[in-house]
């Protein structure tokens, strides 16, 4: 997938948080304010992993798959975590799958898109994965179908929202978590929130006993 799409999503997320409009965002010419924002967001991501660890969830193993992040906003690059994303092609590793995760089908599927969003390749989710890690989704649609996945008990999910307490989109992001929690029919999930000085961390975590099918 063209990295321009990734940069566009980053720019949109930056604008939602700061209301600072920028005209362009390309790999070698970042707006200085946005570059600083990405650096701070990366540092918050490190603390978010600690926050999850304190809740009893280790996301540093290959059984967890981070979904849909790129070089600027992945939080698991240095760990053994599996990465599934069309935006991460510059990382050469057998734990990286440059696909999109499709949750609209009866069972999660990996899809690779070409020009005009035509499907070029399909693949199955590796059997060793039991948890999807979704951090600060770019759009509400990125979570489409996730409640059905959790309710079926075939995979667990950790959906996280984190940032600076003064972010303009904080309330909206927390509302998305709350609305998603209302769609989950199993009682085996946690809705958590924590504030650490200027940063906040929120998460919706399902912890069902996974049903695996051969």
pLDDT at 209 over 70: no
Give the pair of three-digit tokens for residue 92.
């050469």
- Other Cβ atoms less than 10 A from the Cβ of 43: the count is 11
Closest to 59 (Cα-Cα) out of 1, 133, 115: 133
pLDDT at 211 over 90: no
> How many Å apart are CA 130 and CA 78, to the nearest integer?
20
Q: Residue 111 has what pLDDT?
A: 87
> How many Å apart are CA 145 and CA 103, to the nearest integer?
5
Q: How confident is the model at residue 213 (pLDDT cuts 50, 70, 90)?
A: very low
Closest to 199 (Cα-Cα) out of 54, 47, 10: 47
Q: What percent of the chain has pLDDT over 70?
A: 87
Closest to 122 (Cα-Cα) out of 157, 90, 97, 95: 97
pLDDT at 129 over 80: yes
pLDDT at 6 over 80: yes
pLDDT tens-digit readout, 30-41: 678 888 999 999
Query: How is domain 3-99+127-206 classified at the CATH fold level?
Result: Rossmann fold (3.40.50)
Q: How confident is the model at residue 92 (pLDDT cuts 50, 70, 90)?
A: low
Taking the mean position of all CA atoms in its chain, how far away is CA 163?
14
Q: Residue 193 has what pLDDT?
A: 96
Q: Determine the average pLDDT of the residues in 21-46.
A: 79
> How many Å apart are CA 25 and CA 147, to the nearest integer?
33
Q: Residue 195 has what pLDDT?
A: 95
Q: What percent of the chain has pLDDT over 90?
A: 53
Give the pair of three-digit tokens for residue 78.
């240095």
CA distances from 172 to 35, 59, 162, 177 (A): 23, 25, 12, 9
pLDDT at 109 over 60: yes
Q: Which of 9-13, 107-111, 206-210 has the lowest average pLDDT?
A: 206-210
- pTM of the entire structure? 0.90
Q: Which of 11-25, 107-121, 133-147 has the lowest average pLDDT?
A: 107-121
Q: Determine the average pLDDT of the residues in 176-200.
A: 90
In the chain, where are the structural domains located?
3-99+127-206
Whether 163 and 41 have beta carbons less than 8 Å apart is answered as yes
């Amino acid at each position: 997938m063209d990295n321009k799409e990734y940069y566009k999503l980053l720019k949109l997320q930056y604008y939602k948080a700061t209301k600072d409009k920028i005209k362009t965002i390309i790999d070698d010419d970042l707006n200085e304010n946005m570059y600083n924002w990405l650096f701070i967001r990366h540092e918050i991501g490190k603390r978010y992993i600690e926050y999850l660890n304190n809740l009893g969830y280790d996301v540093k193993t290959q059984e967890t798959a981070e979904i849909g992040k790129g070089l600027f906003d992945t939080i698991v690059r240095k760990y053994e975590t599996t990465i599934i994303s069309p935006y991460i092609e510059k990382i050469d590793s057998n734990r990286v799958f440059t696909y999109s995760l499709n949750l609209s089908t009866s069972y999660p599927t990996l899809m690779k898109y070409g020009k005009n969003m035509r499907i070029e390749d399909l693949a199955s989710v590796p059997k060793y994965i039991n948890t999807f890690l979704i951090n600060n989704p770019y759009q509400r649609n990125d979570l489409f179908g996730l409640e059905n996945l959790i309710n079926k008990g075939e995979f667990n999910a950790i959906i996280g929202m984190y940032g600076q307490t003064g972010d303009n989109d904080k309330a909206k992001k927390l509302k998305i978590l709350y609305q998603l929690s209302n769609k989950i029919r199993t009682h085996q999930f946690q809705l958590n929130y924590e504030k650490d000085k200027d940063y906040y961390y929120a998460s919706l975590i399902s912890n069902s006993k996974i049903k695996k099918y051969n």
